[in-house]
Chains A and B, each alone.
Chain A
Amino acid sequence: MTTPLVEMKDIRISFGGVRAVDGVSIDLYPGEVVGLLGHNGAGKSTLIKVLSGAYRADSGEILIEGRKADIRSPADARRYNIETIYQTLALADNLPAPANLFLGRELRDRWGFLDDDRMEAETRRIMARLNPNFRKIKEPVSALSGGQRQSVAIARAVYFNAKILIMDEPTAALGVQETAMVAELIQQLKAQGLGIFLIDHDIHAVMKMCDRAHVMKNGQLVGTVRIADVTEDDLLGMIILGKMPERAVV
């Protein structure tokens, strides 16, 4: 079998005595969409923030493509080609799309000044591919719809050749059509061999988009299942009761 893209082994992290994540191990393979499920407070967001560099684990280790990785900050995570798309759409609302797309990794000219024209050209190029309806290149992203904003966030991940994509409720703020657009994008990226962690409350969406699912409850892993082997009720049982369905063991 191929090496996993990501392995998180026995991750533990506590906040003031509360064990937010308590010895959880999960993995992700190339060309795979893996759901991360659980109630609010189950620890899934905390776990994934360890991978994206926003938090540091108290113990446990992370392997990227089989090698031990040292992720201490979001900048570190980016060096491992890990990109995160947050539920809150982490964009600077006052800046236009190109400034957001290149935030923290601006293109510069030979004098070291920002090359806004080149950034705009690159933004136009990638948006033409991802979301041909995208027009408002020069306006602050606060003027964009939820779906357009989400496509800026996704463009950021795609442009910088993410291998590992973390999506934290990518469709929570979107309408029906926009959700469909994002779902289609996810399939595109998957076909390109990216590994995608999808955190979502919508069981239906998870059943449709994911290959496998890790389910968490109270900071611990309930289990990992192949979506093809389970029903929505099985997943709900895992989330609510913390009970593994008998027939689905990976």
Chain B
Amino acid sequence: MSEVTHPGLGSRRSMVEQLQLDMRLLGMLGAFALVILVFTVATGGTFLTPRNIFNITIQTVSVAIMATGMVFVIVMRHIDLSVGSLLAMCSAVMAMTQTQWLPQYFGLPLGHWAIAPLAILAGLVTGTAIGALHGWLAGYQGIPSFIVTLGGLLIWRNVAWYTTRGQTIGPLDQTLILFGGAEGILFPTWSWIIGIAATLVALWAIWSTRKRKESHGFPVKPLWAEAVLSALAAGAILGFVAILNAYQLPPGRLRRMFEARGETVPEGYSIGHGLPISVLLLILVVVAMTVIARKTRFGRYIYATGGNPEAAALSGINTRWLTVKVFALMGFLCGLSALVAQARLQNHGNDIGTLDELRVIAAAVIGGTALAGGVGTIYGAILGALIMQSLQSGMGMVGVDTPFQNIVVGLVLVLAVWIDAAYRKRLGVR
């Protein structure tokens, strides 16, 4: 109690403490910044162009959506090896629903407005149901989830194969394709509106948290620290929107757009891409999953069960039913990722989502999720997915051979867990 604080005189270390930033988050951000820096230099600046940032962002969405679900699965001390195959299964159902089942059996003509929502619904239901089945086998029947989902990995990709008879299905519904990335963009005006709204929500969240803490008489961060955090949040959101808005539509696409309306492109006219719908979808998933993790009983029980399954059960938590729910949620997110993946590719092929299970698990683990259970964050998984995609894109741009790209990603995965383990050891936490 005799500690005296000297406002404004703190060393750099205590400044970080006053901001109350997570050291682990800082480490990951540092790693991400390093990756960006290295490739920016190596590509002579091309890596950091709006176009490349736009591309990396839309390439990350599918894996990132699933990675948020994988965090819960791994925190519960389970694993899901089937997500790539489950994505293919959901994609196959969605593709068949929109191109064949609805038109043939329900008489909806191709291009009907109801096709996209019904196809998406079919894919999400498929994913959720299969996920729930995995969860039931692991939770109630006591089969290790590693085995259940290893079986699922083999089964679902090939059930998908039979569903489409091995054919590539396309072209897909034009509305549905909007969820893929470059095709479905919001253009600068709407992107700014969404960006500004998101900024206001973030600022409101920061200040209302402070008010609530004050009302309970808890210590709060110094005002300057709140202000710095608010500025960082606003800068990150608006900066991101500005970059995506700066990526101009290529002339060919612009011409087609105007031709579709029977007009010609005015002289000197150009317009930026703005936020892709798929990225907006990812952001909504991240916000929802973070709220689930931190503010709901469901999330709290996932973490408690991962920390000590026995204690959770003795506290009256139904850990078996919880397992079903977590795997069902994972399946739902696979369905969502299937939508984004097939929309981006503009068709459904048999190899869609191949090896995604490894990318998704790697993203969660690089993002600090511990396989021992109980520890992991949603934002960490997103950063993990971004780091991996940046590595892969960057190496592609520099001209690194594909085999060597995989070697690097593998090394980064092991290195990330190694550093994390050493960090924890020093802190004396588990």
Enumerate A75-131 residues with CB–CB distance to B below 8 Å.
Answer: 75, 78, 84, 86, 88, 90-95, 99, 103-106, 108, 112-114, 117-118, 120-121
Residue of B nearest to A99 (CB): B300
A187 interface residue per 8 A CB criterion: no
A146 interface residue per 8 A CB criterion: no
Instruction: Report which of A95, A117, A140 forms a contact with B212, defined as CB distance below 8 A.
Output: A117
A74 interface residue per 8 A CB criterion: yes
Residue of A nearest to B430 (CB): A142
Instruction: Report which of B217, B297, B315, B375 forms a contact with A94, defined as CB distance below 8 A.
Output: B375
A103 — which chain B residues lie within 8 A by C-beta?
300, 304, 311-312, 315, 317
Residue of B nearest to A86 (CB): B314
Task: For residue A87, give the distance in angstroms from its CB to the closest CB of chain B.
Answer: 12
Complex interface bits, A125-150 against B, C-beta within 8 A gives 1, otherwise 0: 00000000000000010110000000
| Assembled-state Cα–Cα distance A114/B303 (Å) | 14
A106 contacts B300, CB within 8 Å?
yes
Task: For residue A193, give the distance in angstroms from its CB to the closest CB of chain B.
Answer: 25
Instruction: Report which of B294, B310, B316 forms a contact with A75, defined as CB distance below 8 A.
Output: B316
B294 — which chain A residues lie within 8 A by C-beta?
114
| Assembled-state Cα–Cα distance A92/B300 (Å) | 11
A113 — which chain B residues lie within 8 A by C-beta?
291, 295-296
Instruction: Report which of A73, A95, A121 forms a contact with B216, defined as CB distance below 8 A.
Output: A121
A118 — which chain B residues lie within 8 A by C-beta?
216
B406 interface residue per 8 A CB criterion: no
Instruction: Report which of B305, B308, B313 forms a contact with A74, defined as CB distance below 8 A.
Output: B313
B314 — which chain A residues lie within 8 A by C-beta?
52, 54, 74, 84, 86, 90
Task: For residue B380, give the distance in angstroms from its CB to the closest CB of chain A.
Answer: 15
B317 contacts A93, CB within 8 Å?
no
B216 contacts A74, CB within 8 Å?
no
Contacts A103-B312, A121-B216; A94 near B307 (Cβ below 8 A): yes
| Assembled-state Cα–Cα distance A8/B218 (Å) | 46
A114 contacts B300, CB within 8 Å?
yes
A117 contacts B218, CB within 8 Å?
yes
Task: For residue B179, give the distance in angstroms from its CB to the closest CB of chain A.
Answer: 29
| Assembled-state Cα–Cα distance A88/B303 (Å) | 19
Task: For residue B296, give the distance in angstroms from its CB to the closest CB of chain A.
Answer: 6
Enumerate B376-412 residues with CB–CB distance to A below 8 Å.
Answer: none
B223 interface residue per 8 A CB criterion: no
Task: For residue A141, give the distance in angstroms from its CB to the closest CB of chain B.
Answer: 9
Interface size for B (C-beta < 8 A) is: 30
A90 contacts B213, CB within 8 Å?
no
| Assembled-state Cα–Cα distance A170/B304 (Å) | 22
B374 interface residue per 8 A CB criterion: yes
On chain A, which size bracket covers the interface? 20 to 34
A106 contacts B297, CB within 8 Å?
yes
| Assembled-state Cα–Cα distance A91/B374 (Å) | 12
A73 — which chain B residues lie within 8 A by C-beta?
316
Task: For residue B14, give the distance in angstroms from its CB to the closest CB of chain A.
Answer: 18
B375 — which chain A residues lie within 8 A by C-beta?
94
B429 interface residue per 8 A CB criterion: yes
Enumerate B272-320 residues with CB–CB distance to A below 8 Å.
Answer: 291, 294-297, 300, 303-308, 310-317
B300 contacts A120, CB within 8 Å?
no
Contacts A93-B374, A114-B295, A142-B429; A120 near B308 (Cβ below 8 A): no
Complex interface bits, B304-344 against A, C-beta within 8 A gives 1, otherwise 0: 11111011111111000000000000000000000000000
Residue of B nearest to A140 (CB): B429
B308 contacts A91, CB within 8 Å?
yes
B216 contacts A120, CB within 8 Å?
yes
A74 contacts B307, CB within 8 Å?
no
Instruction: Report which of B216, B305, B307 forms a contact with A117, defined as CB distance below 8 A.
Output: B216
| Assembled-state Cα–Cα distance A196/B25 (Å) | 46
Task: For residue B316, give the distance in angstroms from its CB to the closest CB of chain A.
Answer: 4
A95 — which chain B residues lie within 8 A by C-beta?
300, 303-304, 307
Task: For residue A30, give the distance in angstroms from its CB to the closest CB of chain B.
Answer: 25
Report the 7 A-B pairs with minimum CB-CB distance, sorted nearest first.
Answer: A92-B307, A94-B307, A94-B374, A75-B316, A104-B315, A90-B311, A113-B295
Q: Which residues of B approach A to under 8 Å, CB–CB?
A: 212-213, 216-218, 291, 294-297, 300, 303-308, 310-317, 374-375, 428-430
Between A and B, 18 residue pairs with Cβ closer than 8 Å are A73-B316, A74-B313, A84-B314, A86-B314, A90-B308, A92-B305, A103-B311, A103-B315, A104-B315, A114-B295, A114-B297, A117-B212, A117-B218, A118-B216, A120-B218, A121-B216, A121-B217, A121-B218
Other than A74-B313, A114-B300, give 16 A-B pairs with Cβ distance below 8 A: A90-B308, A90-B310, A90-B315, A91-B308, A92-B305, A93-B374, A99-B300, A103-B311, A103-B315, A106-B300, A114-B295, A120-B218, A121-B216, A121-B217, A140-B429, A142-B429
